[in-house]
Amino acid sequence: MKQIALYGKGGIGKSTTSANLSAALSGMGLDIMQIGCDPKHDSTRMLTHGKWIPTVLDLVREKGNQDLSVEEIVFKGYNNIRCVEAGGPEPGVGCAGRGIIATFQLLERLDAMYGDVILYDVLGDVVCGGFAMPMREGYAQEVYLVTSGELMSLYAANNICKAISRLSKRVRNKCTLGGVICNSANIANERELVEEFARRINSSLVAYIPRDRIVQIAEVNKQTVIEYAPESGQAAVYRRLAECIFNNKNMSVPTPLETDELESLALEYIEI
């Protein structure tokens, strides 16, 4: 079983990339599970045709965590991909990070974590130990950073490198960096910049996803691009990404950059 996690700045396209990646992987005949680890709980929405599935933590809140069954928290979406949304507390109260940990414990107890690939789609940044959970305890062994060429997005990606590199010092750590996915924001020299960033953090660019209207069109039709426009060039990009990730053997321990290093890198590639 392969377990991968997608991390990146909020709004960068993690969920779109995750859903299309899951759809493409399932198209390879694989059994896929996607777990959304974000209180916004919209990770799997394109896989369930726009349906908001109840989140694990909503159910825990209503029923307690003793009487929940797998059927109540795992939902089959496109191509039988098993979808889970961790969810979280109401904004402004409680501890969402602890909620992620509780979700994982519950899924473990229910033996719900299985398949050929489990894909974790995680909140914008590693804000606390709870959101690092997918990287810990041997869950996701490969982390992919989703970023555009924007400085803030690279900054977030770099921060996640710090988390991976810190975790890699632990004796039982299995988490490594699988690579960088550039989700284009249509910036000049973007591909070159992200490629160079990936190289400097001791990794590599595994895919460049161009910006394409078809993504938005599929989205308003509440489907992934893979489902809505399987013949499109964009679908082919996602399928290539899926194959690349599934066969990827190039794992590394990242070497995060210092902030000024990162800023001067961005300066080198920006068009003035």
Partner 1 sequence: MNSNPLHLNTSRFEGCTVTGALSVSAFVNDAVSIVHGPAGCSHLNMNLFHTTLLQHNTFRFFDIITSGMDENDVIFGGEKALKESITTALERSPKAIFVISTCIPETIGDDILQICAEDRGVPVIPIKSSGFLGGSFNEGYESALTALLELAEPQERHDGGVNIVGEKNLEFEVEENFLEVERLLSALNLDVNVRFVRDVDTNDIRNFCKGDLNVIRDDQTGNLTRHFEKTTGIPSVGSFPTGPGNTIKFLMRVGDVCGVDSRDAVQEEFALQEELVADFSDLRGETITFDSFGFQNTDALIFDEVARLIGIRVDDSGTVIPVPMGMPVGTTGLRHMLKQWRRFIHA
Q: Can you tell me which of 67, 90, 231, 271 binds partner 1, judged by CB under 8 A?
A: 90
Tell the smallest beta-carbon distance from residue 99 to partner 1 (Å).
Answer: 4
CA 64 to chain centre: 28
**Does residue number 230 form part of the binding site for partner 1 (CB under 8 A)?**
no
Tell the smallest beta-carbon distance from residue 89 to partner 1 (Å).
Answer: 4
Of 143, 161, 246, the residue nearest 201 (C-alpha): 161
Q: Can you tell me which of 1, 28, 70, 95 binds partner 1, judged by CB under 8 A?
A: 95
- DSSP label at residue 135: G
**Does residue number 210 form part of the binding site for partner 1 (CB under 8 A)?**
no
**Does residue number 61 form part of the binding site for partner 1 (CB under 8 A)?**
yes
- What is the 3 state secondary structure string of 72-131? HHCEECHHHCEEEECCCCCCCCCCHHHHHHHHHHHHHHCCCCCCCEEEEEECCCCCCHHH
- Class of residue 235 by CB neighbours under 10 A (exposed 0-12, middle 13-18, buried 19+): buried
**Does residue number 94 form part of the binding site for partner 1 (CB under 8 A)?**
yes
Nearer to partner 1, 86 or 164 (CB): 86
Positions annotated as catalytic residues are 9, 14, 40, 125
**Does residue number 62 form part of the binding site for partner 1 (CB under 8 A)?**
no
Nearer to partner 1, 90 or 271 (CB): 90
**Does residue number 65 form part of the binding site for partner 1 (CB under 8 A)?**
yes
Of 65, 159, 84, 28, the residue nearest 143 (C-alpha): 159
Tell the smallest beta-carbon distance from residue 176 to partner 1 (Å).
Answer: 29
**Contact residues for partner 1 (CB under 8 A)?**
57, 60-61, 64-65, 88-90, 93-96, 98-99, 102
